[in-house]
Structure 1
């Protein structure tokens, strides 16, 4: 079975959290991203590494980040 067909209904399948963060930062910048999702790793000395650490441990925040990413991708 091919990897692409294992989760055909998951739009995030195959996209790493690091990629999601980098694309959001590239599109919005840290300041706007921190206003859209008010979490410290986006507002207080933000970095991809600190964001990855926090989001991997915090499911509610990761869900918000993934939802914003999907919204951004759909609006392109």
Structure 2
């Protein structure tokens, strides 16, 4: 019985580490997704300005694009 209790205690000690590793992986995925979104927003803004929109219009359109992109990512 003592051996079973020890192995359970040992297994329990790994749970916090595995949880921390999972949290870190999740954060890294979120950072990568935000970096990808930032790049897409930059490219979109640049393209809108290149099409002749002024900076205020381009910013407004880019913000709408961002809102749509965020809604789509939450729906997925």
Q: Same fold (TM over 0.5)?
A: no
Give TM-score scaled by structure 1 length: 0.35
Higher RCO (CA 8 Å, separation ≥ 6 residues): 1
Kindly name which structure, 1 or 2, has the bigger radius of gyration based on alpha carbons.
2
Give TM-score scaled by structure 2 length: 0.35
**More helix by percentage:** 2
